[in-house]
Amino acid sequence: MKSVFRKAALAGVLVLAVALCLPGLSRAKDIELTMYYPVSVGGPITGIIDGMIGQFQAENPGIKVKAVYAGNYDDTRVKALAALKAGEPVQLSVLFSIDVFDLMDEDVVVPFDELVASDADRQWMQSFYPALMQNGMVDGKTYGIPFQRSTIVMYYNKDAFREVGLDPETPPATWDEMVEMGKKLTKRDASGKVERWGVSIPSTGYPYWMFGALAMQNGQELMNDKGDATMFDAPACVEALQFWRDLGAKHQVMAEGTIDWGTLRQKFLEGATAMMWHTTGNLTPVRNGASFEFGVAMLPAAKRRGSPTGGGNFYVFKQATPEERQAALTFIKWMTAPERTAAWSMQTGYVATRPDAYETQTLRQYVQEFPPAAVARDQFQFATAEFSTHETARVKKFLDDALQAVLTGQKEPAQALAEAQKGAERVLKAYR
Amino acid sequence: MTRISRTPQWLYGWLLLLPSAVLLIAFTHYPIVRTLYNSFFTTPRGRIPARFIGLENYQALLHDEIFLRVLVNNFLFALGTIPASVGLALLMAVWVNGTLPGRALARTSFFTPTVLPMVAVANIWLFFYTPQVGILEKMLAPFGIHGVNWLGDPSTVLWCLAVMAVWKEAGFFMIFYLAALQGVPPDLTEAARIEGAGRWYCFRRITWPLLMPTTIFVLLNATINCFKLVDHLFIMTKGGPDNASSLLLYYIYETAFAYWDTAYASTLTVVLLGLLALTALVQFLYLERRAHYR
């Protein structure tokens, strides 16, 4: 009795084992890719990505992609690097576009120039907006392919413009106009309490990003292409920071102190500020939340227009085998195809990364119905790279601290930026 | 039976300790030793391996303005949160320990902030403090106070965070005091009352000394928490403006995971460990002796 039972159990185990192995055997030739993916804005991004991956796998049998959602950009970089160091199989990831120097210094990424073989592939690499490629290219080689990208635009409240007698279709095009209109738009009650500010530029979270725009508008870049020198103390930078500070301290069209990145959208939606500078990633939430008519404009100019790009790029890791690298390339090419890019941009509010995506039927129609979606595209001709150097986070921190010290009135622009420059020099001289 | 008696007793002892010992060594003791070890080296980068540099990381600490800033901040934060949250906890406990209508409701409402995750709390309070549209602005408007940029001003930000921490923590400490108060024998107070002692006198000479062990426990926890709780910084200020609200643990996180400077982060961690060990020592050796245990 006992032995019969044992035999039956053994047979059961065998059947189970075979059943488990069979699909494994039939898929033995599948290439499995693991991709770390940052989710930095709320919303259904993970669902959208999972849907795209599902479609890709259906169209490309033999390649399986697993997305690991790992929090914001910093968290994702940390987790991806930790996985790489532990020898876990990670072949590609979407990481912060400005992490490129750090990823190179860690010696983990492989340039796309080594992956592409055909002319068609090389052409594909040329198909993106040049402004979006800047952060991905070092020494003429392309390490990052733009995907989840954004830029800064100015949102403005058309109802408020009408209320004070300004033309709602003519947003400020220069700094002076912005100050002038801001003065009209700033509304105080009898006791002097501000009910609505003219303009708000957020200064927590990503102050360096906003400053990158101001400096560029004043004709000054913040760093060199090699990412081993910064120009924080350039006169044009000092001037730009003085202007930022003056918006609150002198012209009184903006709140003094720092302005929170996270709550600014809410303040705009509640009419507490008539204009705000913010990421294009906020376009869909603002559209859904605004109870008034709003407009989107390019950032104003001082000497020229300017706005840095931001967001995440595709990277392929060195430790991937040649087959895996090719599979990763296939996947990335599929993900960045014009029609997919168009759909992605409409669903998320991120910019479409290539001109031909805006030529697709779907996106053309969308832009026609909702013109603000095209502002980021039109602004690309003035766009610049986001701040990025070796040891980006640390160098960036020097700048962030200086900006906040000035905006809170603790330091003068020239002094604060000179200190930041000194700090950056100390870190960066090791990389020259 | 015979087999058991042949196995030495000490082996049993060790076997029983083994599971927790393995966990403690793997996740507490080894990391501490490793952290100390790493703090004497440089951070390995890419192909460049770590290099022994002795105490250089510790020398760098002394010239690191941000480190000194976060240390002072942490001290101020402790000063702002520990006495307030412990005092408030005691007050609430004494209050809800007596007979009052809706006692269960009062206890629950005092305890609610403790149950909420810190990240959720931070998100709520971020909007409380928002100038123009926040609830604080609306509450203070009748008093002519408006336009204060609570989290955007270096002189107010740390205290705003301290108030939030007190709100979050006091309910938790109240539970310990409440439990201790239930254990205070009523005959002591009754006897004192007969002798003509007032309420304050009774509290000062009977209840407070009997609560001493709880106070020590709560103080220790409050101190550890003010070094340990940094979740709100990620949501509310990111340590800004200009490091005005940054705390030691948050700086360690930045150094380790944003700057990827693991060696210097180890050095900072050693400092944090030292501070915490010192607190524990002071409280156990000094205060313990003054506590009244039954």
pLDDT per residue over A283-316, tens digit each? 888 988 999 999 999 999 999 999 999 999 999 9
> Could you give the CA distance from residue A134 to residue A101 in angstroms, rounded to a whole number?
12
Q: Report how many Cβ contacts below 8 Å link chain A to chain B.
A: 100
| Domains of chain B and any CATH numbers | 66-122+156-290 (1.10.3720.10)
Share of chain B residues as helix, strand and coil, in percent rounded to the nearest 5? 75, 0, 25
Residue type present at position A402: A
Closest chain A C-alpha to B210 CA, distance in angstroms = 47
Distance separating alpha carbons of residues A78 and B39, to the nearest angstrom: 20
Is A238 inside any structural domain?
Answer: no
Q: SS3 of A330, please?
A: helix
Structure token digits, residue A109: 């990424």
A138-148 per-residue burial string, b: 16 or more CB within 10 A, e: under 16: beeebbbbbbb
Give the tens place of pLDDT for each residue, B1-16.
Answer: 455 567 788 898 899 9
* A263 interfaces chain B, CB cutoff of 8 Å: yes
C-alpha to C-alpha distance for A302 and A2, rounded to whole angstroms: 90
CATH code, A69: 3.40.190.10
Between the alpha carbon of residue B209 and those of residues A216, B90, B94, B181, B192, the distances in Å are 66, 13, 14, 11, 14
Q: Select from A321, A424, A309 the least CA-distant residue to A32.
A: A321
How confident is the prediction along chain B (294 residues), in pLDDT tens digits per residue? 455 567 788 898 899 999 999 999 999 999 999 999 999 998 887 677 888 988 989 998 998 889 999 999 999 999 999 999 999 999 999 888 877 788 888 888 888 898 999 999 999 999 899 888 888 988 888 888 887 889 989 999 999 999 999 999 999 999 999 999 988 888 888 888 888 888 888 888 888 888 888 998 898 889 988 998 889 998 898 888 999 999 999 999 999 888 888 899 999 999 999 999 988 888 778 776 766 654
Q: How far apart are CA A136 and CA B178, in angstroms?
A: 59
**Cβ within 8 Å, pair B152-A408:** yes
- Number of domains within chain A: 1
Judge whether A329 lies within some domain. yes
DSSP string, B143-203: GT-----GGGSTTTHHHHHHHHHHHHHHHHHHHHHHHHHHTS-HHHHHHHHHTT--HHHHI
What interface predicted TM-score (ipTM) does this complex get?
0.81
Rounded to whole angstroms, the Cα distance separating B113 from B256 reads 30
**In terms of DSSP H, where are the helices of A190-260?**
207-217, 235-249
- For residue A263, list chain B residues with Cβ-Cβ distance below 8 A: 126-127, 130, 133
Higher pLDDT, residue A193 or A152: A152
Predicted confidence band of residue A52 (pLDDT cuts 50, 70, 90): very high
Domain that holds residue A328: 25-149+310-376
B63 CB burial (10 A radius; 0-12, 13-18, 19+): exposed
Query: Are the Cβ atoms of A404 and B240 closer than 8 angstroms?
Result: yes
Alpha-carbon distance A129 to nearest alpha carbon in chain B (angstroms)? 29
Residues of B in contact with A394 (CB under 8 A): 258-259, 261
- Give a yes or no: residue A192 inside a domain: no
Biggest alpha carbon distance in chain A? 97
Residue A432 domain flag: no
Quick check: is A85 in a domain? yes
Instruction: Give the number of other CB atoms < 10 A from CB of residue B59.
Output: 12
Contact A130, A137 (CB under 8 A): no
Q: Give me the sign of the Cα torsion angle B4, B7, B12, B18.
A: negative
pLDDT score at B159: 95
- A206 within a domain of the structure (yes/no): no
Closest-CA distance, A207 to chain B, in angstroms, reads: 10
Instruction: For residue A317, give the 3-state DSSP assignment.
Output: strand
Question: Cβ atoms within 10 A of the Cβ of A32, count?
Answer: 13
Is residue A388 a part of any domain in this protein? no
Q: Which of B47, B66, B127 sits opposite A263 (nearest CB)?
A: B127
- How far B242 CA sits from the closest chain A CA (Å)? 4
Which pLDDT tens digit goes with each residue over A133-145?
A: 999 998 889 999 9
pLDDT band for A67, please (50, 70, 90 cuts): very high
Q: Is residue A94 assigned to a domain?
A: yes
pLDDT at residue A21 in the model:
47
pLDDT per residue as tens digits for the range B192-216: 888 888 888 888 888 888 888 899 8
B93 and B174 in contact (C-beta within 8 Å)? yes
Which residues in B lie closer than 8 A to residue A191 (C-beta atoms)? 144, 146
Contact A397 B254 (CB under 8 A): yes
| Residue contact A391–B46, C-beta within 8 A | no
* Cβ contacts of B141 on chain A, cutoff 8 Å: 193
